[in-house]
Structure 1
Amino acid sequence: MHERQQVRHRYAGHWAAWPPVTGAAVMATGILSVGLSLTGFEVVSVVALCLATALWVLLAFGFSAVILEDRRRWESIADTPPALTAVAATTVLGVRFELLGLTPVAVSLLVIAVLVWPVMLIAVLRHMTRRAPGAVFLICVATQGLAVLCAVLAPEVGDWLARVALCLFLLGLVLYVDALARFDVRQVLTGAGDQWIAGGALAISALTGSKLLASGVWSGGAATTLRVATLVLVALDLAWYAVLLCGEVARPRLGYDVRRWATVFPLGMTAVASLSVSAATGVGWLEGVGRVLLWIAVAAWLPVAYGFARSLVGRAQDRSSPAAGDGRPLRVRRRR
């Protein structure tokens, strides 16, 4: 029994060395899987889904280990915006599984996200600060992630779920305004990668609007209002995309940082939102934009995944060192 507790403690310490924003790796890989499926690259899409699911499972086990074995660590991260990547990642996977027709899996992931979301969101909102980094927009992303999954599942579950999705969609927009008021705009030039969530939050909001339109629950003036709102959101997202890209060109930040997953996710989400909004509104040129942006996102995923893999190798080497057995959290080797 004592040896088993030691193993759990070592695993908790091993996982705790990764910041919560690591969940953005699942979000990024999962949304690329969605985009690749929408553009007909099903085999590559399924491979990406398998990678995202495997990482989600590992992080979920680690998440549980920290709660059980290191409550102090849990309390120190549960009230920070990056913790909401757990909710967002779960909903992204749910959307992809629903596209595969695996509704029971998608519903199960929705239930998990619904149980975790209010607890984390309330904790994060209670500890919000001014001049926040881009991760602050995760309060919107997590909420819109729930809305998207509800809207996608509505045809299978019932129209009532579409109405729940609409409420979450509106709440997500309110939370976006709150996050924008707190965002330190200097992050456009100095951020380590998560500044891109400022645009990604609008992208997932536009995706939600497109899925609500596609649900067929609304008609007449309500449908027209929803269509206009969706198009405005995707336009604002593309504007953010241009601003953030200019920031990267003006101040290149080429070294690997785990927060770069929070760059890949908005790139992929903007592509998927463009594709979905095009299908829902009939604006044809958005499909071409979405296809181009998807391959930009894939190109960005490759070096970030390489840096992540190198970090994993470094952690494995640290675990094999004598210090790995003393129960202390392991250091993450940073490569600049």
Structure 2
Amino acid sequence: MTNASNNPEAARLETGLADMSPANFGLVMATGIISLAAFMMKFETLATGMFYLNVSQYGLLCVLYFLRAWRYPARFFGDMFTHLTGPGYFTAVAGTGILASQFMIIRGDLVGGGVLWVFALVLWLLLTYTIFVTFTITPRKPSLDRGINGGWLLAVVATQSLSVSSAVLAAGIDQPYRLELNFFALSMWLWGGMLYIWMMALIFYRYIFFNFSPADLAPPYWINMGAMAISTLAGSLLILNAPQASYLASLLPFLKGFTIFYWATGTWWIPMLLLLAIWRYVYKRFPLNYDPLYWGAVFPLGMYAACTWQLDQAMEFGFLTQLTHAFFYIALAAWTATFAGMLYTRVYRRGRAVIGK
């Protein structure tokens, strides 16, 4: 085996593995939701291509995360139990849930989607009760302004991704499990909404009453909107599934009202986040370099396109089509730019470093 200390490239790879962001599955989340949005809008070739790309990305990231946990357990679990980085691991749950939905919607593969759904559920249980119990009992805790950011809402996204994939799975199977899956989807939808209220109150308080620098405005703050967008998507699917379950039919006014509430809240965040981005990058001239966290900004754009399309279908509005397509193209452009930045950083610049240019 090559000694990394005598091989600069091997040393760089080891360092990259040790420093790997817990939020890297944001790549799977962003690619998956844009693939699903493309499928909704009948861009089937694009949707299928991004599906296969996402399968390969997911497999590679699973291997890398396993290697990091095996070779650098102190770093791997240290990040998990740190307030600012721990919630990033919920991207693994959300990415798995979204990939499960891709299998079921794009490929019609309920078996593959069901296996991934079970895996996402197990991950959700392990991470939710490991991370939040640890945060609760740890004796040394950061202050609010140093311990919370928009990345905490990834816990909401992970929860709602299970609601979405459960609703999709329920729509594709017969009894005896259809009722139970719809009830589970409803329960996760409600729990995700409650979790958003708790966390968003703290994040908004941190916004308003503590100093806020350009460095503090990390891309995961776009999850403020993305968490509401995926909640809208889950609610829309529950509305569409109402004929399958009498208890959903009895809750239709509630489901419709809260789904529009989620969509309106997510929509409110968009101008706010755009203005803050202008303040960060234009006024404060914060450098725009590739960071895995930028997938946390691409995902909400794609999710907003998907959820708006699904809301339009579920509510039979018919007047949100243009908005849906506009955000789809914006999300696709953002995904393309971020993916190009990732390739440039990981391949081109590393190659130049290897050959000494």
Distance in 1 (alpha carbons) for counterparts of 2:323 and 2:96: 27
Report the residue type matching 2:100 in the other structure: G
Whether 2:127 is the aligned partner of 1:120: answer yes
Number of the residue aligned with 1:292? 326
Number of the residue aligned with 1:19? 21
Shift in Å, 1:52: 1.7
Number of the residue aligned with 1:134? 150
Mapped contact 1:188–1:244 kept (Cα < 8 A): no
Pick one of 40, 45, 48 that aligns with 1:46: 48
**Bigger mean CA offset, 293-302 vs 186-195:** 186-195
Shift in Å, 1:116: 1.0
Whether 2:246 is the aligned partner of 1:244: answer no
Mapped contact 2:238–2:248 kept (Cα < 8 A): no
Number of the residue aligned with 1:201? 227
Distance in 2 (alpha carbons) for counterparts of 1:302 and 1:49: 15
Number of the residue aligned with 2:77? 75
Pick one of 342, 347, 353 that aligns with 1:313: 347
Number of the residue aligned with 1:103? 110
Whether 2:269 is the aligned partner of 1:263: answer no
Distance in 2 (alpha carbons) for counterparts of 1:267 and 1:254: 21
Pick one of 200, 209, 226 that aligns with 1:180: 200
Mapped contact 2:241–2:248 kept (Cα < 8 A): no
The 3-state SS of whatever aligns with 1:18 is coil
Whether 2:176 is the aligned partner of 1:156: answer no
Mapped contact 2:90–2:154 kept (Cα < 8 A): yes
Distance in 1 (alpha carbons) for counterparts of 2:269 and 2:330: 16
The 3-state SS of whatever aligns with 2:196 is helix
The 3-state SS of whatever aligns with 2:23 is helix
Q: So what's the TM-score if we normalise by structure 2? A: 0.82
Number of the residue aligned with 2:7? none
Pick one of 22, 33, 36 that aligns with 1:34: 36
Shift in Å, 1:122: 1.8
Structure 2: runs of 5 or more not aligned: 5-9, 137-141
Q: So what's the TM-score if we normalise by structure 1? A: 0.87
Report the residue type matching 1:122 in the other structure: Y
Structure 1: runs of 5 or more not aligned: 323-336
**Bigger mean CA offset, 180-189 vs 53-62:** 180-189
Q: Structure 1 residues 5, 212: closer, same or farther in 2, change over 3 A?
A: farther
Whether 2:188 is the aligned partner of 1:168: answer yes
Q: Tell me how many residue pairs correspond in the alignment.
A: 318
Distance in 2 (alpha carbons) for counterparts of 1:62 and 1:266: 25
Report the residue type matching 1:61 in the other structure: V
Number of the residue aligned with 2:314? 280
Distance in 2 (alpha carbons) for counterparts of 1:171 and 1:308: 34
Q: Structure 1 residues 165, 12: closer, same or farther in 2, change over 3 A?
A: farther
Quote the RMSD (CA, aligned, Å): 2.5
Report the residue type matching 2:219 in the other structure: G
Shift in Å, 1:221: 4.1
Shift in Å, 1:12: 6.7
Distance in 1 (alpha carbons) for counterparts of 2:104 and 2:213: 35
